[in-house]
Structure 1
Amino acid sequence: MKHSWLFILGMLFVSCTQSKPRRAINKVKASKKVEYSILYNKKINSIQEKLIKDYIQKDSLLTYEYSPYGFAYAVVKSSTKPKKVIKESSVLTFSKSVFLLNNKEVYPEEILTVKLNTSNLIKGIIEGLKLMREDEEIKFIFSSFVAHGLNGDKNKIGSHTPIVVNIKLLKINN
């Protein structure tokens, strides 16, 4: 009985001590990693901008414009229909095909019907659709930053890969 009280008293003494915080093993400052990441992304962006400009120069049949959202686009077939305001809740039906900058087809043409605010489309396509009219066809060139980014689509489009997307807007339901 005497020994059990000593054991309990010893356990209370040991369990009540506070542990001291340990120092970080990695001594590289976080700011250095952020600076490296910024420089790395700027370099990738400049390479992709050059590739996109080269693609546009080779495609002399179309006149390209730059969107404030960071992509280039050209109207392939214009529409005479009046422009409808596309809202976040709009349901759009459109056809889409995806190519690499070397004109290799990645995804063949498919027809999609999506509600804009609940779709899993890339940001570039969402913003591009907002520029369109019904029965209009536009060719978009998206850098990887507006398309699938660092990881690609984890299927056919690799990381840091700019893409060309041909879209024909078929129907707008508000």
Structure 2
Amino acid sequence: MRTILYLIGLSLLLFSCKTPEARRPVSIKSGSFITESINRNKQLAAKEEARIKKIMDNDTLHDYITSEGGFWYYYNKKDTTSKITPKFGDIVNFNYNVKDLNGNTIYSKEELDTITYYIDKEELFLGLREGLKLMKEGEVVTFLFPSYQAYGYYGDDHKIGTNIPLMSEVTLNKITKESTTEN
């Protein structure tokens, strides 16, 4: 009787141990949708950047600076003495407007009022978030943002539609240092 139990146990052990088989997908999809989407976005970005470069070429009054983040800007009022720029966690107080690239006002400074913003701790569109980090207290800067640096594909659900490049004049009123690192 014991021998039979051992044989049954041994056979269960041998035949129940099987390497797992990978499950195959029901349908195989190629990456064509993603590839097409990437190509469309590259074409859109190139078209917007060409339009912005044309605006910069026609504007001989200002010296445009290309940011590392992929937008362009010039100083309306620049502080050459201070070295303090906002860092993560600092509180900034600023005013700004939003225009399309033709200069038509979408949101005025009065409409948007004065904003108090914790750097990188609150929601703000990408380009403006990065642009504020380049500014010093008292400066006025005009930014040109391609749509992927502004409101992108979704817009703002109000006045800004899909894939709209923007222009914004920002006044940084005050920086309150809250970060643990010194500049």
Q: What band does the TM-score fall into relative to the shorter chain?
A: 0.7 to 0.9
Q: Per-residue displacement from partner, 1:68-109 (whole Å, max 9, x unpaired)?
A: 100000011112441214221100001101100010000000
1:146 counterpart = 2:149:
yes
Contact 2:85 2:136 survives alignment (8 Å): no
Amino acid in the other structure paired with 1:50: A
Q: 1:129 aligns with which of 129, 132, 141?
A: 132
Match of 2:165?
A: 162
1:109-124 correspondence runs (5 A): 109=109, 110-124=113-127
Secondary structure at 1:145's aligned position in 2? helix
Contact 1:135 1:168 survives alignment (8 Å): yes
1:6-155 correspondence runs (5 A): 23-24=26-27, 29-109=29-109, 110-155=113-158
Amino acid in the other structure paired with 1:84: I
Query: What is the CA–CA distance in structure 1 between the aligned matches of 2:104 and 2:26, rounded to whole Å?
Result: 52
Amino acid in the other structure paired with 1:168: T
Q: RMSD across aligned C-alpha pairs, in angstroms?
A: 1.6
Greater share of strand: 1
Amino acid in the other structure paired with 2:51: L
Q: CA deviation at 1:115?
A: 1.0
Query: What is the CA–CA distance in structure 1 between the aligned matches of 2:61 and 2:108, rounded to whole Å?
Result: 22
Q: State the number of aligned residues.
A: 151
| Structure 1: stretches of 5+ with no match in the other structure | 1-20
Identical-pair percentage = 32
Amino acid in the other structure paired with 1:162: P
Secondary structure at 1:152's aligned position in 2? coil
Contact 1:81 1:133 survives alignment (8 Å): no
Secondary structure at 1:69's aligned position in 2? coil
- Superposition misfits of 4+ residues, deviation over 6 angstroms: none
